[in-house]
Amino acid sequence: INRLFELFVNNLDLLVQKARIEGSLDRGIVHLKANVIELQGTPKTVYVDQMSRASTVLFTFIFDRGVSWELANTMLKGKPKAEFGSSDDGFYLSKSEFMGKRHVILAFERDMHRAELTKKYSKVSSLEVAKIRWEHDYEESSKQCMHGPNCKNGKSCSVGSRLQEVNVLCGVIVPIWGKIQTALSKQVKQIHRRIRIVCVETTSSDNRRIVGLLVPNAAVTTVLE
């Protein structure tokens, strides 16, 4: 078993080296972050080696990168106490519409020049108005992307969505490498064709830490076949 494992490791090293030469490998382990990270469902077994019984498992996580109204308000209240606090810090409403709507943001002077801020946004004087718009956008972003329900990319589009599905493949990789390469080669976006090693740590009480290959959502079906 040890010799078999050593063979797997050596083969993986060769594959990674090949990908690095071809420019299809993102260097280093990328730590994926979000306010809330939860494991969705039971991990799926993709492959089991008959000799060693080592397995390949697909983990699916839900990332929530949204900021609730309570958290946003707490962030705003905490800033004036710091040295960089400014009277221009606060909630702003966009002057132009996007997809038929105006959106509210929380802005701090240190993050955006005042001239740029006031050109595109107007400061909201009423916290109640800001709260209503913020909570509406927060709720909507859990159901759809920023392009709305009629987005041409459908559910696969996650632009502006606070919830994102992330799939990570762990365990024995070499035996199903051909399947992985096929799945990645079919991806439309160049970045999704790259081999990306990621680390995901759940924020729940079990605090699971998973390191593996990031699988684009559109490639999951091929990997599971």
Q: Which residue type, as a one-letter code, is found at position 218?
A: A
Residue 205's pLDDT is 84
Residue 51's pLDDT is 85
Residue 166's pLDDT is 93
Mean pLDDT by 10 residues, the chain (225 residues): 52 62 63 93 91 90 93 83 63 87 85 83 91 92 83 76 91 85 81 83 89 88 84
SS (H, E, C) 163-186: EEEEEEEEECCHHHHHHHHHHHHC
Residue 80's pLDDT is 54
* Helices 69-78 + 127-140 axis angle, to 10: 130
pTM: 0.72
The CA distance from 26 to 32, in Å, is: 14
| Alpha-carbon 57 to chain mean position | 20
Helix extents (H) in 23-145 = 69-78, 114-120, 127-140
| Alpha-carbon 27 to chain mean position | 18
